Amino acid sequence: MENCRVIFKPSNKEVSVPKGTDLLTAASKAGIYIYNVCGGEGLCGKCKVKVLKGKILSEPTRVLSEKEIKEGYALACQCDVESDATIEIPEESVIEKPAIVIEEVYTPAEKIEKPAILKGERKFHHGPLVTKHYFQLPKPTAEDNISDLDRLYREINKIVTVPVMQMGVANVRRLGKLLRESDWKVTATLGKRDGTVEIVLIEPGDTTKKNYGIAVDVGTTTVVAYLVDLNTEETVAASASYNRQSMFGEDVITRIVYAGEPGGLENLHEAIVGTINDLIRNAVKESNVSISDINAVVAAGNTTMTHILLMIPPDDIRKEPYVPAVSSVPVIRAAETGIKVNPRGLLKCLPGVASYVGGDVTAGVLSTGIDKTSELSLLIDLGTNGELALGNKEWLVCCACSAGPAFEGVGIKSGIRAMDGAIQRMTIENKKGDDFDVQYSTIGDKKPKGICGSGFIDLIAELLKAGAIDRQGKITKAGSARIRKDQESGSMEFVVAFAKETSTNKDIAIAETDILNLIRSKGAVYMGIHVLLQHVGFKFEDLKKIYISGGLGTYLDTEKAIMIGLLPDLPVERFLFVGNSSIAGAKKCLVSNQALKEADEIAKRMTYFELSTDPKFMNEYTSTLFLPHTDLELFPSVKKVLGK
C-alpha cells in the first residue's frame, strides 16, 4: 500500500501513513492530539486544520464557512490523505499535555500552589504485588537429591506462607541450566495472583534492588502513570497524557457505540494501550529505569475504560439493566493486553461496582478512607462521568450522575481542557455605564487561549453576582461592549477576553447556550448528591467531610461552586480536595497487598443506585436548572450575596 508523508506545522512533526488515512489519525500517530468532541462525525468543528500543501480528500461540511474553505481550512476528521502533505494546526485545535494531578489533600482555604498533606493519611502494610528475593540454594547431594524446582520451592516456602505456588513452563525449562551457571545464587520474582504465589521470573545473582511497578489512572479524558520503586514505595517518575481514545469521542457512551462497529473495539484498545505505553516510556526515560525491571502494573479506571483495556466488549454497559460483562478481573499477565513492561509482569485492574462506577471510584474510596471512618463522608469525582460515593465504616453507596464533559471544557464555545493558557480564575465587577471589569488568571500565566472547567464555574458565579445574567442563566444587560449576539448560535454572549488579549487572536466568550449547558451539568451533580442522601435517610447538613477528586477539583473555588449550585451550601472547611484519588489508590494497591484486599472488599460492600431510571432524580432534577436552585432557602450564603 502506498504511504504518504505528512508534516504538521508549527511543530514540524512528521509521520508516514497509508494513503487514505484521515488527518485525525495521522496527527495522533505523530504524537499530536487534536480536539474532537463529536467522535469524528464532523459536527463540532474543533478539529479544524489548514492544508498548506498536498492533496487531501475532504468531505463537505457545514461547520466551516465558505471563506475558511477557500483559505484551505478543513476538518481533520473528515479529511483523507491522498499525497505527501503539509498541514498547519491552529493553536486552538491542539490538545496540549495536561498537568499531573497528584494525591495531595488540602482544604479550599489553603493555596493551591502549595497544598498541605492531610494529617493522618491512610497507611497500609508494605507488601507489593510483586516482590524479589535473593536465595543461595544448597547444592544438591546424594542425600539431598530433590529436583531443582522442589529445591527452589523449599527455599521460597521459608519466607512465603501461601501453600500454593505456580511457575510457567518457560521458567522451568531454563531453571536447571540457570541454577548451575549462577552457582545456585539466584533472585526469584514472586507475584501474588489471587490467593496463589507465582514465580514470575528467575534471574542469576542478586537483582532485588531492581523492582519497579506502574500505577495507572485510566481516565476517560486523561491518563496518568506513576513509576514506583516497589522496595521503597517511592514514586520515581510521573507522566500524564490525554487518552488517545478521544479521537473516537469525548464520553464513554460515544466510545461504547464506536466499540460496537467493525474494528471499533480494536481501535479503542490500541489507543489506550498506546497511551499507557507512551507514558511508561516517558517515565523510564526520565528515571533511567529499564522496562525489564517493571514487574507489575495496577490500573484504576471506570468500567468502560477497564473493559476496553482488557478487550472485553462494553456494549451492555449502556443498555438496560446496565450490567457490565465483568466487575472484578483476576491478576493477569500485562503482556496479554499489550502493555509493554517485563514480558512476565503482572497486571491488576482494580474492581468496579457497576456499569458507571468503576475501579477509579473504588481507588478513591480506598485512598480517602471514607470506608473506615465513623463520620458520614462523600467522595465526588468531578470528571467526565461525575461519580459519587457516600458512607462510612458501616455502609457505602454510590452512583454516577452523568455530568457530561462540560466541566472538562468540552462542548463549550471557548472551552478547553486544563492546560497552559486556560483561564482558571476570574472576577467581574459591574462598573458604571453598564460596563464590566474582567480580571482573570491562566494556568501557566500564559496568554489566554480558552476557558477550562474551573474558569467556567468562576465565570458563571461572577456573572450572576455582577447582575449580567439572571438565575436562569439568561444574559440580562445590554449596552456593554462585552455583550453581543453570538453569530453561530444566535444567542447572546459575554466576551471574557478580546482578540488582542488572547494567544489565538480570537475573542474568548461564553454564550447563553453554554451557560445552560453548564447549568445542566452542575444540576446533575447536585441532584445526584441529594438523591443519594435521600436514599439512605440523610440530609446535606449531615455530611461531615466532602472529598473532591479529579482535575477540576484541583482548581475549583468552593464558594463559587456553591454560588452556582454545584455543591451544597455547607461550611467550606468540610470540603477537602484530594487531587487524583484514582492514581493514589492504584499506587497504594501496587505497593500493599493489604490495600489490594481492602479494595476488593470496598467494591463488594458498595451498593449502586442507577440514577437514569430513578424517579426521585428525574422528578426533582428540573429544580436544579436555576442559579443556584429554584429554592434559594437551600443556599442561604448565596441568598445573602444576591441580596434576596
Cβ count near 560 (within 10 Å): 22
Contact 499, 490 (CB under 8 A): no
Residues with Cβ within 8 Å of residue 609, at least 6 apart in sequence: 397, 398, 399, 531, 532, 535
For residues 406 and 415, what is the distance between their CA atoms, to the nearest angstrom? 8
pLDDT for res 609: 93
Calculate Rg over the CA atoms of the chain: 27
pLDDT for res 103: 46
Query: With bands split at pLDDT 50, 70 and 90, how would you rate the model's confidence at 98?
Result: low
Please name the residue that has the C-alpha cell 460483562.
Answer: 325
Q: What residues make up the domain containing 166?
A: 130-204
pLDDT for res 163: 67
Quote the cell numbers at residue 209: 534492588
Quote the cell numbers at residue 186: 539466584
338 and 377 in a common domain: no
123/136: higher pLDDT: 136
pLDDT for res 490: 79
Judged against a pLDDT cut of 70, whether residue 144 lies above it is answered with yes
339 and 315 in a common domain: yes
Structural domain includes residue 512: no
431 and 299 in a common domain: no
Backbone phi, psi, residue 136, to 5°: -110, 95
Query: With bands split at pLDDT 50, 70 and 90, how would you rate the model's confidence at 553?
Result: low
What's the pTM value of the predicted model, to 2 decimals? Answer: 0.88
531 and 399 in a common domain: yes
pLDDT for res 496: 95
In the chain, the largest separation of any two C-alpha atoms, in whole Å, equals 102
Tell me the average pLDDT across 35-60. 79
Structural domain includes residue 104: no
Contact 273, 283 (CB under 8 A): no
For residues 585 and 146, what is the distance between their CA atoms, to the nearest angstrom? 43
Judged against a pLDDT cut of 60, whether residue 258 lies above it is answered with yes
> Given 507, 538, 567, which residue is the final one in a domain?
507
Q: How many domains does the chain have?
A: 5
Please name the residue that has the C-alpha cell 474568548.
Answer: 508
Contact 405, 221 (CB under 8 A): yes
Structural domain includes residue 192: yes
Backbone phi, psi, residue 323, to 5°: -110, 120
295/616: higher pLDDT: 295
**196-204 and 165-167 beta bridge pairing:** parallel
CA angle 236, 239, 223 (to 5 degrees): 130
The one-letter amino acid code at 112 reads I
Q: What angle do helix axes 581-591 and 359-368 make, rounded to 10 degrees?
A: 80
Tell me the average pLDDT across 377-406. 89
Phi-psi region of 169 (alpha: psi -120 to 50; beta: other; left: phi over 0): alpha
505's enclosing H/E stretch is none
Cβ count near 427 (within 10 Å): 16
Judged against a pLDDT cut of 50, whether residue 316 lies above it is answered with yes
Which three-class secondary structure state does DSSP give residue 546?
A: strand
Query: With bands split at pLDDT 50, 70 and 90, how would you rate the model's confidence at 477?
Result: confident
pLDDT for res 423: 93
For residues 530 and 624, what is the distance between their CA atoms, to the nearest angstrom? 11
In 345-406, at which residue ranges do the beta strands (DSSP E only) sit?
Answer: 346-349, 377-381, 387-391, 396-400
Tell me the average pLDDT across 319-345. 95
Per-residue pLDDT tens over the stretch 217-245: 999 888 999 999 999 999 999 988 888 89
Q: What angle do helix axes 512-535 and 453-465 make, rounded to 10 degrees?
A: 100
**346-349 and 294-301 beta bridge pairing:** parallel
Structural domain includes residue 468: yes
Structural domain includes residue 246: yes
Query: With bands split at pLDDT 50, 70 and 90, how would you rate the model's confidence at 36?
Result: confident
For residues 440 and 612, what is the distance between their CA atoms, to the nearest angstrom? 37
pLDDT for res 519: 94
526 and 600 in a common domain: yes
Domain holding 556: CATH number?
3.30.420.40
599 and 469 in a common domain: no
573 and 524 in a common domain: yes
Contact 258, 268 (CB under 8 A): yes
236 and 337 in a common domain: yes
Quote the cell numbers at residue 91: 493553536
424 and 484 in a common domain: yes
> Given 174, 204, 234, which residue is the final one in a domain?
204
Judged against a pLDDT cut of 60, whether residue 189 lies above it is answered with yes
216 and 200 in a common domain: no
Domain holding 331: CATH number?
3.30.420.480
For residues 468 and 428, what is the distance between their CA atoms, to the nearest angstrom? 10
Structural domain includes residue 107: no
316 and 239 in a common domain: yes
Query: With bands split at pLDDT 50, 70 and 90, how would you rate the model's confidence at 11?
Result: confident
Judged against a pLDDT cut of 50, whether residue 537 lies above it is answered with yes
Structural domain includes residue 499: yes
Query: With bands split at pLDDT 50, 70 and 90, how would you rate the model's confidence at 554?
Result: low
Judged against a pLDDT cut of 90, whether residue 196 lies above it is answered with no
Structural domain includes residue 439: yes
> Given 481, 507, 533, which residue is the final one in a domain?
507
pLDDT for res 111: 34
Domain holding 53: CATH number?
3.10.20.30
Query: With bands split at pLDDT 50, 70 and 90, how would you rate the model's confidence at 93?
Result: confident
Domain holding 199: CATH number?
3.10.20.880
For residues 73 and 278, what is the distance between their CA atoms, to the nearest angstrom? 30
20 and 77 in a common domain: yes
pLDDT for res 33: 77
pLDDT for res 137: 96
pLDDT > 70 fraction of the chain, expressed in percent and rounded: 93
* Average pLDDT taken over every residue of the chain: 89
Contact 305, 239 (CB under 8 A): no
| Sign of the four-CA dihedral 23, 29, 30, 32 | positive
